[in-house]
Structure 1
Amino acid sequence: MGGKSKPAKGPKLLPTSSLKAGRLPSTGKKKKRPAAASGDGGEGGSGRRRKDKSFWGLLAAGAGFAALWAWNVWARAQQRQEDRRILDAMLRLPLAITEHAGCRMDCRFIGRGEIEQTLRSGRINPRKSQPALRTCPKYTVDAAVGPQRKNVQGVFAACPQETRVITVIDTDTNWPCGPC
């Protein structure tokens, strides 16, 4: 009997390079959970139907979204009022056009009336504005002006004695302007 000995059979080893650490492939069988000890027929839980739970969850989620939407509408209205207050104050002061702004207005075909209309009907762009600057806070205002509803962006400095036009941009057309 001097034959070969058979290797001992053990658990099947799988390469771990394609598997998550500590997990083996699923066999497709699910473990049964023990039912809670309640007198409602072995379904467990509080005896409510799943349909009722999903209705109240859906109702709560809908109420949350409605509250979020209402708060967003209110916050936008408050921001528009604040923008209007700032722009009206800038309109009451004399308009001073800087040399750079005058050059850009000429090359981009934007007139003084369109600048004033930008202040009357525009909205402050908070991403490009610097309201915390001392003496002359800087505001970027976006508006559609003129009979062709040209999209204009104006940069203004709200100084105590005047409203300075720093620059103006025609956002619809990229005009080839020289150095100013």
Structure 2
Amino acid sequence: MTRFHILLFLSLIISVLSNGCGNQSQNTEVQNFETKEDSFNRKPERLIFTKHGKCRMNCRSIDSLEVDEILKKGHINYVKSDTSSNNPCRKKYALEGTTRDNQLVRIIFSPCNDTQTVVTVIDMDTDWDCDCK
């Protein structure tokens, strides 16, 4: 074997070993994500709608059954969520999913004790003309 072949072989081994280590840390991140996902209350005793949330639902033709469906089955988008507060009642979770009439929506929920408050509702495909304050 020439030096070139030996160096190529060693490069290949280092590449394989470093990819293996990368996969382990990636699995850890996925595991942490699932742990956070499991802590979100998808079956609150009460669902509260803010005035702004109701207005956005109305102008975007999204009803409370669709909100409930996203609450139960939607995926949490942690990039659009604000979970940094130490006060659990100040956290906001952005849940995304498709409603029964095929609207791709993001709904911002704010949990507190055994309730979930609907803060706002966003149609991710259509920019509706709403006059909500």
TM-score greater than 0.5 by the shorter chain = yes
For residues 147 and 70 of structure 1, what CA distance do their matches in structure 2 show? 40
Is the 2:110–2:116 contact (alpha carbons within 8 Å) kept by the matching residues of 1? Answer: yes
Deviation larger for 123-132 or 112-121: 123-132
For residues 142 and 77 of structure 1, what CA distance do their matches in structure 2 show? 20
What amino acid is the match of 2:26?
Answer: N
In the alignment, structure 1 segments of 5+ residues that lack a partner are: 1-46
What amino acid is the match of 1:154?
Answer: I
| CA offset digits 1:89-134 (Å, max 9, x no partner) | 2423311111110111000011111111112222222222221322
In the alignment, structure 2 segments of 5+ residues that lack a partner are: none
Q: How does 1:150-165 map to 2 (within 5 A)?
A: 150-165=103-118
How well do the aligned residues superpose, as a CA RMSD in angstroms? 2.1
For residues 171 and 162 of structure 1, what CA distance do their matches in structure 2 show? 25
Which residue number in structure 1 is paired with residue 119 of structure 2? 166
Q: How far did 1:135 drift? A: 4.2
Runs of 4+ in 1 over 6 A off after TM superposition: none
Q: Does 1:98 align with 2:64?
A: no
For residues 156 and 103 of structure 1, what CA distance do their matches in structure 2 show? 15
Is the 1:90–1:158 contact (alpha carbons within 8 Å) kept by the matching residues of 2? Answer: no
Which residue number in structure 1 is paired with residue 11 of structure 2? 57
Question: Relative to total residues, which structure has the larger strand share, 1 or 2?
Answer: 2
Question: Under a length normalisation based on structure 1, what TM-score does the superposition of the two structures give?
Answer: 0.64
For residues 108 and 74 of structure 1, what CA distance do their matches in structure 2 show? 38
Greater Rg, structure 1 or structure 2? 1
Higher RCO, 1 vs 2 (CA within 8 Å, ≥6 residues apart): 2
Is the 2:42–2:72 contact (alpha carbons within 8 Å) kept by the matching residues of 1? Answer: no
What amino acid is the match of 2:5?
Answer: K
The number of aligned residues is 131
Question: Relative to total residues, which structure has the larger helix share, 1 or 2?
Answer: 2
Q: How does 1:125-164 map to 2 (within 5 A)?
A: 125-133=77-85, 134-136=87-89, 137-148=91-102, 150-164=103-117
